Amino acid sequence: MNAMYNRQTIWVLVVIIVVVAGCRIPDTENLVFRTISNPLNLNYRFCLDDVSRRDAANPCIIQFEDGYYLFLFGSEGYYYSSDLIDWKLIGDTNLPTESFAPTVVEMQGELYYTASYATDTIYKTDNPKSGVWEAVACSFPPGMLEPMLFYDEGRLYLYAGAGNSVSLTGVEVDPRTFQLLGEPSPLIRGCQRDNGWETPGDRHDWMDATPWLEGMWMNKRGGKYYLQYASPGIQFKTSNDGVYVSDTPLGPFTLAEHNPLVYRPEGFTTGAGNGGTFQDKYGNYWHVGTVAVTARHYFERRLSLYPVFFDEDSVMYAYTELGDYPMIVPDHKITSPEELFPGWMLLSHNKSVRSSSELRKYPACCAVDEDIRTWWSAETADKGEYLSVDLGEECEINAVQINFADHDAHLFGRPDSIFYQYYLEESVDGKKWNILVDKSVNTEDAPHDYIQLKEAVKTRYVRLTNIYCPSGKFSVSGLRVFGRSDKPSPPQTKFYRICRNKEDRRSVILKWREVEGATGYGIRFGIHPEKLYNSYMVYNDTEIELRCLQVGQTYYFAVDSFNEGGITRGDVIKEDE
């Protein structure tokens, strides 16, 4: 988006944005808020097998009492946060956290937990901060892959299933004995021939492969039940969550007109499926999902958080348009995605970089190419190795995200030595440097360290200098600088070709005109001109093929141009126009 909104003027400014194609981002200097940026900055554990890498997947978050609890696979514990910003690991627990796809439900003021391959046992606690849980049922039906427990008006339901040729099922469960009250009923089955988002591949291009369906999640709102499921595979950039709707918790379910629900196939942080949707303290909905890194191993993943909304027609959608840019974490009820955007654009993409050293296959330019799967690596891990970026002009910097790559690391589990120490400096002329962030004595593990500056800084150069890294070589997959430039937002661009594939209507080819000054383009698309809820970010190109459409739907498209100065909205075009 290209504006920052405060609560007093939100409705007026929304009207202005609809009318004005492109405008400058207004001043945010006097506003007080806190932001986050995907991927979430957790101290992800290094895997225990033979490939050294961090991994996290299958998350679910529940709001309980004064805060939030995040459960995930392979973490040696679970996390607590009071604000969705800072997370603390609760590592001393008797839960089987090595079991994947955990689920947690609140019933009568207590939390109940189970997970795949741990589903013969249900655990409960009324004090999750303690890490102590009590086994309350040890004969829960085993073999239920990726279970999800849902409590509704005194009744408990179990949704489960995972595979490329199976149905995802649901069944009622006795909330006291945890025995099934009947046979599981098939609720969702893959329909790849109609649903483009279920086609495997990083660009839905594995046309002959069968999608892997998994990760069901249920939310109830306004008397309707929204059953979510993940496809086509958690390792793909196109990993997403779709949604079905019903008037009852066990169906029959109808595929929602807007799908997929959560979709983030391009950008620095890609993949968004296999997670869950929850409400915060203020009634806002959020989706926590799994990010596909998959550089060293298929199962190399992180977590992401996206806001979820319901429109006036009860259409459920997630906002992922600027999904890895800074996002405000609200302290009140919000009504639109615009309220979460602080007005900070990415300033560092493909800018000139310098480094103390580099490995031939891992050049410094990879730190600013907006691809989490590539990285810069210095030749050593020595103190003094550095990476600097020239923003090209003086800009107002508000936040920096440092994504460490752990190149050649040989780490497993959670040894106490895992943390990063560094200086982050800024300079107007590239000669005289000032400390921007001092983490020279840091001992907290922050692999995707996101720093929101207390005050904006006007500068041109940013330099990251190593003090200590835990293993391997000093390396960075993304040195991402956010703020505002004085340059104008780029001119409006227009489509000159929208060609829906007549033989395979899951696909459409989009071409648009290159405009001077644009660093990238954002494709918005949806089932109605006012419901362009899905998006696709494009750098370095003016043509794409989308393969995520539903065969029976007519679509509307818009292409926006953006740069360091803001976003210029494009006109909405129906596919046949």
- Report whether pLDDT(493) > 60: yes
Per residue in 96-106, is it b (16+ CB within 10 Å) or e — as a string?
Answer: bbebbbbbbbe
**Identity (one letter) of the amino acid at 140?**
F
Phi, psi of 67, rounded to the nearest 5 degrees: -165, -155
- Report whether pLDDT(261) > 90: yes
292-317 confidence digits (pLDDT tens): 999 999 999 999 999 999 999 999 99
Which residue has tokens 């440097």?
433
Q: What is the pLDDT of residue 347?
A: 98
Phi, psi of 168, rounded to the nearest 5 degrees: -85, 135
pLDDT-based confidence at 52, cuts 50/70/90?
very high
- Report whether pLDDT(29) > 90: no
pLDDT-based confidence at 139, cuts 50/70/90?
confident
Tell me the average pLDDT across 192-199: 96
Q: What is the pLDDT of residue 138?
A: 85
pLDDT-based confidence at 461, cuts 50/70/90?
very high
pLDDT-based confidence at 512, cuts 50/70/90?
very high
- Report whether pLDDT(170) > 60: yes
Domain ranges of the chain: 35-340, 345-484, 488-574
- Report whether pLDDT(2) > 70: no
- Residue that wins the pLDDT comparison between 116 and 304: 304
Tokens of 208: 């002959």
- Which of 112-121, 336-345, 494-503 is least confident? 112-121
Q: What is the pLDDT of residue 141?
A: 73
Tell me the average pLDDT across 230-234: 96
Q: What is the pLDDT of residue 24?
A: 35
pLDDT-based confidence at 140, cuts 50/70/90?
confident
Q: What is the pLDDT of residue 119?
A: 66
Pairwise CA distance, residues 37 & 151, whole Å: 31
pLDDT-based confidence at 26, cuts 50/70/90?
very low
- CATH number of 345-484: 3.40.50.20, 3.50.50.60, 3.10.400.10, 2.60.120.260? 2.60.120.260
- CATH number of 488-574: 3.40.50.970, 2.60.40.10, 3.40.50.12780, 2.40.30.10? 2.60.40.10
- Report whether pLDDT(31) > 60: no
Q: Which residues lie across from 156 on neighbouring strands?
A: 151, 173
**223: alpha, beta or left, given left = phi > 0 and alpha = psi -120 to 50?**
left
Tell me the average pLDDT across 62-69: 97
- Report whether pLDDT(165) > 90: no
Q: What is the pLDDT of residue 224?
A: 98
Mode of pairing for the β-strands spanning 134-137 and 148-152: unpaired
366-407 confidence digits (pLDDT tens): 999 999 999 999 999 999 999 999 999 999 999 999 999 999
The percent of residues above 90 in pLDDT, for the chain, comes to: 90
CATH classification (class only), 35-340: mainly beta
Q: What is the pLDDT of residue 144?
A: 80
- Report whether pLDDT(574) > 70: yes
